[in-house]
Structure 1
Amino acid sequence: MTDLLHVLPDFAAKPYSHLLPSLDKALLTTNDLLTLDPAHVAKRAQLPAGELRRLAEAVTTALHRQLGFGAEEPPGSAFVAGLSSADHGPAARRCISTLDGALDAALGGGIPPGYLVEVTGESGAGKTQLLLTLLLAVQLPPPHGLAKSAVYISTEAVLSTTRLTQLLSSHPALAALSVDEKPSLERVLSIQTSDLESQEHILRYQLPVAIRNYGVGLVILDSVAANYRAEFEKKGMNGAAAMAKRGTQLVQLGALLRELARTEGVAVVVANQVADRFTRAPSAASSNAVSRNTSANSQGNGRELTPQPSTASQPEVGLLLSPDPLALDHQQKWFTGWGDQQYEPEHAQKTPSLGLVWTNQLACRIALIKQPVFASGQPLTAPIGENEWHEENHILKWRRWLKVVFAPWTPPSYDRGVEFEILKLGITHIVKEK
Structure 2
Amino acid sequence: MQPVVIIPTFIAGRRHRPGSNAIATYDHVTPLGDPGELGRCLASLEKVRGLGLVVVLVAAESPFEAQAAEKVQAVVDQHPALNVLVIGAAELALVRQRMEQLKIGKLSREVGLSGYGAVRNLGLVVANAFGFDAVVFLDDDEVVDDPDFLKRAMYGLGKLTKKGIPILAKTGYYLNDQGSYLSKWEDAWYNRFWQQGRAFNEWISKAMRGPRLSRSNHVCGGCLAVHKEAFRRLAFDPWITRGEDLDYMLDLRMYGSDIWFDNDWVLRHLPPKSSSEGDRFRQDIFRWIYEYRKLEYSRALIDLQQVKPKSLEPYPGPFLEAGLTRRIRITAFLRSLVLPDKKAYRRAAKAARKEAQTYAERNCAKYFEFQYTWPEAMARLEGDEALSEALLRSALHNAAVAAGADAAGDAARGARPESFDPGMTSEIRLNIAE
Do these two structures clear the TM 0.5 threshold for a shared fold by scoring above it?
A: no
Higher relative contact order (CA 8 A, sep 6+): 2
TM-score (norm 1): 0.22
Which protein is richer in helix relative to its size? 2
Q: Which has the larger radius of gyration?
A: 1
TM-score (norm 2): 0.22
